Amino acid sequence: MQLKEIGEFGFIERFKPHFNDLLSGDIIGIGDDCAIIPANENEDWIVTTDLLMEDVHFLRQSISPFQLGYKSLAVNLSDIAAMGGTPIGSFLSIAIPKDLDVEYLDRFMEGYHKLSQKYNTALLGGDTTKSLKHLAINVTVIGKCSKGKARKRSDAKIGDVICVTGSLGDSAGGLQLLLDGVRTNTFHDYLLNKHHQPEPQIKEGIFLAKENGVNAMMDISDGISSDLKHILKASKVSAEVDIQSIPISDELRNESVKYNWNAIEKATSGGEDYELLLTVDPKDYDRVSKDFKMQFLKPLIKIGTITEGNPEINWTDKGKIIELSASGFNHFK
């Protein structure tokens, strides 16, 4: 059987049950942005890992080594942010092809260090080895949360307001410029930068995890049409999302007009935005949203509501039900 027939999640479901009996009581394993391991009286530790492969996740000729180093750590810190955690340290494994020189690696480590410094995350270890062809980068990050306060995908409640922390689809717009071979200029910097050097919402995550009423949370890596479903499945609820409420930047809007892109599709299933997706108790939403805006000078954007029913997204356009065929990536297609 080919892997594409069952996909990443189908594969995980095949072996996950066999490992369940090895799980000791309080540890939460496979199935969220991070695993949660009780560490001491006051803290749970959270752990995440991500593997980036050349020509699958990035093209070496498109992304600078500095950006690649930055992004390799950023996508992991984003998982820490998704739980509302504070990073403790990271581990970097890197398989290096022969044609990659030390100067490239120095720039890569500069980018990695830049983001490490920003969130005070030490590089604690790793592995360096040879690769015959493609550059492979695996990062593991350990973080911490106040005991029992890590925000999980499974905690969405019926009636919750569904929110995101920023505009969606920008990264996908940047990627599209690269894929289409557009001769980019400084007007494109915003979208390209969102794609090459995403910013993990660490401070936003920590802030939101302290707020009562913030229930489920995750980061947006595959696009909300795919990611929100993870929350719905884990929480056994349904959702209604109005496409008019999805935040789209002026930059994405302009380029979409220019190049005839479907901005809504980019925003819902483009992926790699690394904004946070969360559900908030409706009675707390106004307060949390106001506090969030005061703290971060940007709104907590409401895009829909958690409802009762099957774990699927019911899309509307100004309240009218619509169909949306696009779905998140399946890496194995």
Smaller CB separation from a copy of itself, 221 or 235: 221
CA 292/CA 303 separation, integer angstroms: 16
Helix (H, G, I), strand (E, B) or coil at 281: coil
- Smallest distance, Å, CB 5 to a copy of itself? 8
Query: Which is closer to a copy of itself, CB of 127 or CB of 286?
Result: 127
Q: Give dist(CA 267, CA 18) in Å, integer.
A: 37
The answer for residues whose C-beta is within 8 angstroms of residue 67's C-beta and 6 or more apart is 111, 196, 197
In angstroms, the CA 237 to CA 156 distance is: 8
Judge whether 272 is annotated as a binding position. Answer: yes
The least CB distance from residue 155 to a copy of itself, in Å, is 18
SS3 124: strand
Query: In whole angstroms, what is the distance from residue 144 CA to residue 96 CA?
Result: 31
Q: How far is the CB of 260 from a copy of itself (least distance, A)?
A: 29
Is 329 labelled as part of a ligand binding site? yes
State which residue, 45 or 66, has the beta carbon closest to a copy of itself: 45
165 in a labelled binding site: no
Q: Is 222 annotated among the ligand-binding residues?
A: yes
Q: For residue 193, give the 3-state DSSP assignment.
A: helix
Which residue number, 29 or 282, has a Cβ lying nearer to a copy of itself? 29
Amino acid at site 110: E
Is 153 a known ligand-binding residue? Answer: yes
Minimal distance, residue 21 CB to a copy of itself, in Å: 8
| Cα angle value 282/169/87 (rounded, 5°) | 70
> Is 33 known to sit in a ligand binding site?
yes
CB of 259 to a copy of itself, least distance (A): 27
Backbone angles phi, psi at 234, to 5 degrees: -65, -30
Give the nearer residue to a copy of itself in terms of CB position, either 111 or 173. Answer: 111
Residues 204 and 227: their CA atoms lie apart, in Å, by 19
The annotated binding site is made up of 33, 48-50, 57, 79, 126-127, 153, 219, 221-222, 272, 329
Residues of each annotated binding site for substrate: 57, 272, 329
Binding-site residues for ATP: 126-127, 153, 221
